Amino acid sequence: MDPIWAEGDIPYLTTEQMIEVDRAMIEDFGIDLVRMMENAGRNLAHLARDRFLDGDPRGKTVVVLAGTGGNGGGALVGARRLHGYGADVRVAVTGGLDRMTAVPLEQLRILESVGLPIMTHDLPYATADLIIDGVIGYSLRGTPRERAAELIQWANDAPAPVLALDAPSGLGTTTGTVYQPAIVAAATLTLALPKEGLRAPEALPLVGELYLADISVPPEVYGIESLDLEVGPIFAKSDIVRLT
């Protein structure tokens, strides 16, 4: 399926602005994290299927790398959906259950209940058709460390293409600073609005093809005083649009 390209001017957000979008969604508009995470994961699975798995995930192997926060939770939703589409899904997380925040932990327990293999210490062993990067989103604070760094390096060394969720792990989403290690993605699916760091010159080789996904942010959220943005109906034709 050919992508639908975005139309018109689309604002890019700093990390602080995206944090404010998330806050307003939850506190001011009553759209909770579970709803946002489900939308992110559904669109992630759709892009994985259509762009990297020839429109049919059956019999394909997908390795999902998930952090302990919201980015990881979205990747875990994508894992569940790809499993439902018939893919052979393997999951590697950056921390044990005691380190997961509440909503991603719910998503992980769902995957456990359906019997998906979940690795908390070992590196993935499968030869993958696709790797999904959900290790670190806009919460990155400096150089990835420990298991997060190990999984990023494993993904970069693997021959399979990488699809990053929101931003390649290891990339500063405001400045575009490339920390080491950082995911080198074939494509990135960013959420709601694109992040400033994704268009920094040094970031472009890591981002790959850039797509934008709808997580159901009402335009009124962007118009609040602390953001003061005017955002049109970006997703009128598709829940996923291509930016670059």
| Domains, the chain, with CATH or none | 32-242 (3.40.50.10260)
The confidence score (pLDDT) of residue 34 equals: 92
What are the pLDDT tens digits along the chain (244 aa)?
Answer: 688 999 888 999 999 999 999 999 999 999 999 999 999 999 999 999 999 999 999 999 999 999 998 999 999 999 999 999 999 999 999 977 777 888 889 999 999 999 998 999 888 876 899 999 999 888 777 798 899 999 999 999 999 999 999 999 999 999 999 999 999 999 999 999 999 999 999 999 999 999 999 999 999 999 999 999 999 999 999 999 999 9
Cα 76 to its chain centre, rounded Å, is 10
- What is the reported pLDDT for 8? 84
Write down the pTM of the prediction: 0.96
What pLDDT shows up at residue 239?
97
Q: What is the pLDDT of residue 142?
A: 79
Distance CA(172)–CA(159), nearest Å, equals 25
Amino acid 156: pLDDT: 96
Question: How confident is the model at residue 5, as a pLDDT?
Answer: 95
Smallest CA-to-CA distance from 186 within 128, 141, 107 is with 128
Distance CA 199, CA 138 (A): 15
- Tokens 């990390």 correspond to 15
Give the pLDDT confidence score for residue 126 in this predicted structure.
67
* Rounded Cα distance, 136 and 79, in Å: 16
Contact in structure between 181 and 170 (CB atoms under 8 Å): yes
Residue type, 116: L
Which pLDDT does position 104 carry in this prediction?
A: 87
